[in-house]
Amino acid sequence: MPAEGFVMVAVICALMAQICRGELVAHVQDLNPVPESSLLKPKVMIAILARNSAHSLPYYMGCIDRLDYPKDRIAIWAATDHNVDNTTAMLREWLRNRQSRYHYVEWRPMEEPRSYMDEWGPKHWAPSRFNHVMKLRQAALKAARERWADYILFVDSDNLLTNPRVLDLMMAENFTLVAPMLDSRSLYSNFWCGITPQGYYKRTPDYQPIREWKRLGCFSVPMVHSTFLLDLRRSATLDMAFHPPHPDYSWAFDDIMVFAFSARQAGVQMYVCNREHYGFLPVPLKAQQSVEEEEESFTHTITEAMIDHNIKPSEFLFTPPKPQDKMGFDEIFLINLKRRLDRRERMLNTMAALGLEATLADAVDGKALNTSHLQALGIEMMPVYKDPYSGRVLTRGEIGCFLSHHFTWKQVVERGLQHVLVLEDDVRFEPRFKRRLQTIMEDVGKAQLNWDLIYVGRKRMQVAQPEVSVEGVDNLVEADYSYWTLGYALSQQGAKKLLAAQPFGKMLPVDEFLPVMFNKHPNAAYMSHFDPRDLRAFSVEPLSLDAHSQTISHYTPMAVSETNVFTMRGMKEILYFVCVCVCVCVFVIIICHQDNMIQTSNTRPKYR
C-alpha cells in the first residue's frame, strides 16, 4: 500500500476515535451560527416644490431635519420657480448646509420669470401654473425611478410633518399609495372621501368621522394630496404619471386630479391613515388673496402645531427674528406659573411667531399658599359661594388664580398704564388674531368708546339672548355673564374699579368676580356684596382666543386644572385614608375570626 494510503487510513481512524469519544460532536456543537445583520432602511426621495415659501420654509425644513430616518437613505429633489420673495436663496442655503448628510441632492431653481403670464396673482392657479407644476412633479418621479429609490415622498412646502416617525409609520402600512392625515384649524385635510363623475370634491358622511379621529385606521379614498408616500417597488406605479395626463383623462386640468385619475387607471388604491397625529397644513386661500395673507394663515398653522409639538425653525437656515410689538397696548402681560415651564416655553414661542412682545407675570401658586399667607393678605371666601357644579368651596388654586390677576391689576395702576392686554398661559390663538384685535382696538379708539374691560377670550354662559352689538365698532358686543379669563384688554380706569371693590374679604373665583362687577351675574347673593357694579365690559365677537384644553375653569364638571389642584389633592388624601381604614377593618375582622375559631375549637370534644 502506498504511503498516502497509510496516512488516509490513519486520519480516518483518528476521526472515528474522536467521534466515539464524543469530542468532535462537542466541537461541532460549540460552533454557533453567526446571526444575520439587519436590513438597511428603504431608500426614499423627498420631493420639495416651493414657490413664494419664504414664510414657511424655516419651519418646513425644520420638520424635514427632525425626521427620524437615516439621512444617508434619503435623497432630496428640490425645485423652485416664479418667486417674488426670498425662497430661492433660502432653499439654496439649506441645501448647501445639509447636502453632505443626504444620499443625493438635486437642485432645480428657476429665477425668472417671477410670475405666470395668465395668473391674477401669486395665489391664482392658472392653467400654465398647473402645467408647470405637473411637469415638475413628473420630473421628481422620474428622478426617483432613475435613482432606484424605493419610495418617493411628496410634501408641499407649507405642510408641517410634526411626527418624526412618519416615514416608518407610513411604510409599515404596506400600501402602494398612502397619505398621513394632516390637521388644520377646520375640517380641511389632505384627502377626499368622495369624488363626482367630473372629478371634483364630493361631501360624504364618511369624511368627518375620519377627519375628527372618531374612526381610526387606514381608509381607502379616491383622493389624497399635498403629502403622500408612493411605493416605487410596486409594478403598478410604472403606469402612474403626473404629466402628460392619461389619454382617457377628461377632468379639469389640475395636478392632484390628474394623478388621482392616473392611479385609478393603474389599479392603485389611495389610502389615508389617522392612527396617529402626523402633522399640519394650512387652509387654502382664495385666488385673489396675497402672499401677506398666506403668511398670516401659515402663522396660525404654526401656533396650532406648537400646542402639542415643540417645532422650531431649521438651525441650518438663517431666520431673522420676527419684529415684535405690543399691538398698541402699553403692556401685554402673560400670566404663568414658574413651575409650568412647558406652558411658558410654548406661549413665548407662539407669541414670537405672532410677533408679540410680552411681559411675564409670575402667577401665584395655589399649592404654595397656606393659612398664614391667606390671613396676612386678609383673604376670606364669600360665605355664600359654592361651586355651581360640585358644590365645593373656593380652592387654593382658585385663590392663586385670583391673586395672579389682582397683582397684574395693581401693576396697571401703580405704573400708570393706560391700556394693557392680559393673557393666561393656556390659550390658543384664533386665525388672524393680531390683525383682528388691532383693527377692533383702532375702531374702539375712533368711536371714543368708554370701556373698562374687553374680553378677547371667554366662555359665554348666557346664550338664550344675543348680546348687544356696539354701535360704530364691528365685532364688539356688550358682555353678558361669562366664564374664563383667557385674555382681556384692561384700561387704567377698569383696573382701579376692580381694586376699589376690595375683593379679598369676600373672594370669588376671578371669572365669577368680573361678571359681578359689570352687573351681569345671575346670582343676586354674590352681587349684593359689591357696590358699585359699574365696570363697563365688552367682548370681541367672534372671539380671538380659545382654551388650549377643556380643563381650565372651576365651572367644568370633573375638570382637573391648576385652580382645582387643591381639591384633587384633598380627594386623593381622602381616598388614601378610606383605603387604610378598609384595610385595618379587614385585618381586625380576620383576627377576630381567627380568635373565634380558636375559642370554638377549644370547646369541642377531642376525638381519638
CA–CA separation, 181 vs 275, rounded Å?
A: 9
Q: Cell 429609490 identifies what position?
A: 149
Q: Which amino acid is located at 139 in the chain?
A: A
5 vs 399, more confident? 399
CA–CA separation, 372 vs 378, rounded Å?
A: 10
Mean pLDDT of 70-93: 97
Lowest mean pLDDT among 10-24, 150-164, 523-537: 10-24
Residue 377 grid cell: 393678605
In this predicted structure, what is the pLDDT of residue 558?
37
Question: Looking at residue 430, what DSSP letter applies?
Answer: P
Residue 6 confidence (pLDDT) above 90: no
Residue 16 confidence (pLDDT) above 60: no
In this predicted structure, what is the pLDDT of residue 252?
92
CA–CA separation, 405 vs 411, rounded Å?
A: 10
Give 126-130 contacts, CB < 8 A, sequence gap 24+: 127/253, 129/82, 130/253, 130/254, 130/255
Q: What's the half-sphere exposure (Cβ side, CA atoms, 13 Å) at 585?
A: 6
To the nearest whole number, what is the mean pLDDT of the chain?
Answer: 88
CB distance 442 to 483 below 8 Å: no
Mean pLDDT of 427-453: 97
Residue 208 grid cell: 368627518
CB distance 551 to 560 below 8 Å: yes
Neighbours of 193 (CB within 10 A): 21
Residue 309 grid cell: 409639538
Domain boundaries, the chain: 44-280, 331-563
Percent of the chain scoring above 90 in pLDDT:
79
Mean pLDDT of 5-33: 55
CATH code for the part of the protein at 44-280: 3.90.550.10
Q: Which amino acid is located at 383 in the chain?
A: P
CA–CA separation, 230 vs 501, rounded Å?
A: 66
Percent of the chain scoring above 70 in pLDDT:
85
CA–CA separation, 203 vs 220, rounded Å?
A: 15
Query: pLDDT by residue (tens digit) across 484-520?
Result: 999 999 999 999 999 999 999 999 999 999 999 999 9
End-to-end distance of the chain based on CA atoms, in angstroms?
92
What is the signed CA dihedral for 425, 429, 432, 438, rounded to 10 degrees?
Answer: -40
CA–CA separation, 426 vs 551, rounded Å?
A: 10
| pLDDT band at residue 572 under the 50/70/90 scheme | very low
In this predicted structure, what is the pLDDT of residue 391?
82
CB-neighbour burial class of residue 391 (10 A; exposed 0-12, middle 13-18, buried 19+): exposed
Residue among 204, 209, 361 at smallest CA distance from 274: 209
Residue among 77, 88, 83 at smallest CA distance from 48: 77
CA–CA separation, 20 vs 17, rounded Å?
A: 5
Neighbours of 147 (CB within 10 A): 16
CB distance 529 to 461 below 8 Å: no
Q: Which amino acid is located at 68 in the chain?
A: D
pTM of model > 0.75: yes
Same fold, 44-280 and 331-563: yes
CB distance 68 to 96 below 8 Å: no
Residue 454 confidence (pLDDT) above 90: yes
Mean pLDDT of 61-90: 97
CA–CA separation, 347 vs 331, rounded Å?
A: 16
In this predicted structure, what is the pLDDT of residue 597?
42
What is the signed CA dihedral for 558, 335, 397, 418, rounded to 10 degrees?
Answer: -110
CB distance 141 to 243 below 8 Å: no
Distances (CA, A) of 159 to 11, 91, 236, 346, 411: 73, 16, 27, 20, 42
Query: pLDDT by residue (tens digit) across 526-544?
Result: 999 999 999 999 999 999 9
CB-neighbour burial class of residue 205 (10 A; exposed 0-12, middle 13-18, buried 19+): exposed
Residue 595 confidence (pLDDT) above 90: no
Residue among 158, 159, 181, 186 at smallest CA distance from 170: 181
CATH code for the part of the protein at 331-563: 3.90.550
Residue 447 confidence (pLDDT) above 50: yes
In this predicted structure, what is the pLDDT of residue 599?
42
In this predicted structure, what is the pLDDT of residue 169?
99
Phi and psi (nearest 5°) for 74? -120, 135
Mean pLDDT of 162-172: 98
Query: pLDDT by residue (tens digit) across 280-312?
Result: 999 999 999 999 999 999 999 999 999 999 899
In this predicted structure, what is the pLDDT of residue 548?
78
In this predicted structure, what is the pLDDT of residue 427?
95
